[in-house]
A and B are shown apart, each in its own frame.
Chain A
C-alpha cells in the first residue's frame, strides 16, 4: 500500500511542478532560452571570480575590469584568471555541451529516459580505451582523443546491441542494469591493468577521477574537428530523430531510415563523449541531468530539447565545478563527486515515477 501512496504523491508534486514549468516556458521558449543564456553568462563570470586559491572575488573582479593593467599590478590574479580559470571555464563549457547533447541523443535513440553515457558504460569504454592506450605507450593528446572516441564507440555499440535484444529493448530499467554491469566489468579490467603497470597507474590515477582541474586547454584544439563534425551531424539528424520518437514503423512510413539514423547518432555520441572524456576524464550523470532539465523546460520534442541542452549543459558542469572549488578550500572536490551527488537523486526521482516516460 505504501507503494500506492508513493505513486500518487509523486504524480501530484512532480506533475504540478512540471505543469508550472511548462506554463512558464511554453509562452515563449525563445525567451526562456535567452534567459538560460544570460544565466550561463552569469555563471561563467562567477567561475572566473571564485576559486579555491588566494585570488578572491574582489581581486578577480579588479583584474577582469582592467585585464592588461592587472598584468603589472596584480600579476598573480592575472595569472590565475588568464592561465587557470579562463581555460578551465572553456573546458567546462565544451564538456558541458558535449555531455549534455550526447545524453539527449542517447536517450532519444534508445527511447530510454534513464540512458546516460556514464551509466551505460560509454564513458567507461572511453576510460578503458585510454588506459589500454597508455599501457601500450601512446600518450600524445590527439591520439588520446581518438582512442577515447573509439572506446566510446565500442561502448555505444554494446549498448545498442543490448537495447535491440528481445525483451530488454522495451524495458528502460534493464538497459541501465546492463550498462552498470558493463561499467563494472570495464572498471575491474582497468584495475587489473593498473595493478601490474605502475607507470600506467601513475598516469591514469589523476585523470580517471573526472575533473576539470589541471586540464590542459591546449587539448581543446585537436578536439575542434570532431566537435564540428558532431555539430553538423546533430543538426542533420534532429528531424529524423524526432520522427523516430513515434516508433520505427511510423518513421519508415514517413520516409526516414531508422537504422542509418541510429548508427549516425551513435557516431555522434561517441565523438562527443570520447572527446569530453579524453580531456576531463569520465564524468557521470551529466548526460542524465541535463536532458532531464531540458525536457522539463522544452517538452518532448527532441529538437527543442537539444537547443535547451546547449546552455543547460555548461550551466550544470560549470556550476558543479564552482561548487567543487568552494566546498573544501583550499583543496577541491573531483567534479565526478558533485555530479554524482546531483545526478543520483535525479535518477532515483525518474525511476520512482509510476510510468517511465517513453521518449
Chain B
C-alpha cells in the first residue's frame, strides 16, 4: 500500500530527492514519441510528439488535399475529371477549363483554406484559454466588431483604410470591450460570453446603422461582409491573411506547452511556472488578429471556429491542445461548406456563412444543453 516508510532509508539530502535512472515500463504506454536532435551536448534539443496527433494531422492533411482537388474539379460551371483538373491547374488544359479552374475556383479555394484555418485556430486558442468549448470569437463579438469596421471602410464613411486593417482594428476593439468589461476570462465562467453577445449586438446595430444610411449600391457591395461568403474575395486581403497564418500557427505551437498546463487551473499552472496572464494575452492576441484578418476576407463565418476545433478535439489525443489539427480541420470544414453551398442549390450559391451556421448551431446547442458533456475543452 503506502510506501511512505521506505523513504526513511533514502539519503536525506534536503531539497532534492535522488532519482534513479532506470527505464520503467510506464513510459512505453504514454503514446508519445520522444525525439532528440543531437546538436551537441550544450544544446540538447528534445521534442515530445504525440503519436496519435501525428497520425491525425497527417490524415487531415490528406483529406484537405482531397477536398482541394474536389473543390477545383466540381462546380456549377463544369465538372472535370481528376486528370483534367490537374492539367487545367498547370495551364495545359482547354481554355475554358483553365479559366474555370485557375481564375474562378483557385482563388476561392485558397481563400477558403486560409480563412478556415484562421477561424479554427483562433477558435481553438480562445476556447483553451477560456476553458470553455463555446468561446468562439463569433459569440464573443469579435466577428461583429470586425464586420462593422470593415463595412465602415467599404462604405467609406470618412475612413479609408484597407478592409483588413480596419477589420483587425474592429476585432481588437470588440475584444478589448468584452474582456475589459468582464475582467479576466476563464475565471468568471460564462459571463464574458454574455457580455460578448452584448458587445456583438452593439456592433451589429452599428453595421445596420451604416447600411441604412447609404445608397443601395454601396449596401450591396457591403453585403458579403455581413453574411460570410467566399465569392470573389479581394486578393490583397487573402495575401495578408496568408502571410499572417504561418507565424500565427508557429506562435500557437509554441504556446501549446503552456496551454496544456493551463488546462489544470490557474493556480496550479502558476505554481508550475507558467505565466498565465502572459500566455492568455498572447493567445488572445493571436486569436484576435486571425479573426480580424479572416473576417476581412470572408466576412463573419464564425461557426468554423467552433466546428473545426471541436472536430479536431474529438479525433485527437485527449488532454492535448490540438492546434495543428484544429487548423487543418477548419480548412477542411470551410472547403466542404463552400463546396456544399455551390452544389446543393445550383445554380444559386448558398453563402458559406449560412451553411456553417445551419450546421454549427445545432452542434453548439447540443454541447450547451447536453447535461452529460463537459463544456471545458
Contact = CB atoms under 8 A, between A and B. Distances in A.
Interface residues of B, number: 42
Given A178-B365, A336-B208, 19 more contacts: A3-B183, A173-B189, A173-B190, A173-B194, A185-B357, A188-B353, A192-B350, A195-B345, A195-B350, A195-B354, A285-B201, A334-B209, A344-B198, A347-B197, A348-B182, A348-B194, A348-B199, A351-B182, A352-B195
24 contacts: A2-B184, A168-B369, A168-B371, A171-B190, A173-B189, A173-B194, A177-B194, A180-B197, A181-B361, A184-B357, A187-B357, A191-B227, A191-B354, A209-B212, A336-B205, A337-B206, A340-B201, A341-B205, A343-B198, A345-B198, A347-B194, A347-B197, A348-B198, A351-B194
A345 B182 CA distance: 12
A3 B187 contact: yes
Contacts of B188: 3
Contacts of A187: 357
Contact of B208 (A192, A337, A345): A337
Nearest to A167: B371
B194 A114 contact: yes
Contacts of A284: 201
Contact of A178 (B198, B213, B368): B368
A180 B139 contact: yes
A166 interface: yes
Interface in B343-359: 345, 348, 350-351, 353-354, 357-358
Contacts of A191: 227, 354
Contact of B368 (A6, A166, A181, A331): A181
A195 B348 contact: yes
B193 interface: yes
Across the A-B interface, the 4 shortest Cβ-Cβ residue pairs? A3-B183, A340-B205, A185-B361, A188-B357
A257 interface: no
Contacts of A177: 134, 139, 190, 193-194, 197, 368
A352 to B, nearest CB: 6
Contacts of B358: 185, 188-189, 192
A267 B210 CA distance: 37
B204 interface: yes
B134 to A, nearest CB: 6
B195 A181 contact: no
B351 to A, nearest CB: 8
A334 B212 contact: yes
Interface of B: 134, 139, 181-184, 187-191, 193-195, 197-199, 201-202, 204-206, 208-209, 212-213, 227, 345, 348, 350-351, 353-354, 357-358, 361-362, 364-365, 368-369, 371
Nearest to A190: B354
Contact of A341 (B183, B202, B212, B350): B202
A60 B325 CA distance: 66
Given A209-B208, A284-B201, A168 B368 contact: yes
A188 B182 CA distance: 29
Contacts of B345: 195-196
A50 B99 CA distance: 58
Contacts of A188: 353-354, 357-358, 361
A344 B201 contact: yes
Interface string A175-218: 01110111011011101100110000000000001000000000
Contacts of B199: 344, 348
Interface string A322-341: 00000010010110111011
B201 A2 contact: no
Contact of B213 (A180, A182, A331): A331
A348 B195 contact: yes
Given A173-B189, A328-B213, A331-B213, A352 B182 contact: yes
A274 B304 CA distance: 33
A165 B369 contact: yes
A352 B136 CA distance: 20
A65 B99 CA distance: 72
A338 B184 CA distance: 29
Nearest to A165: B369
Contacts of A340: 201-202, 204-205
Residue of B191, B194, B212, B357 most packed against chain A (CB within 10 A) = B194
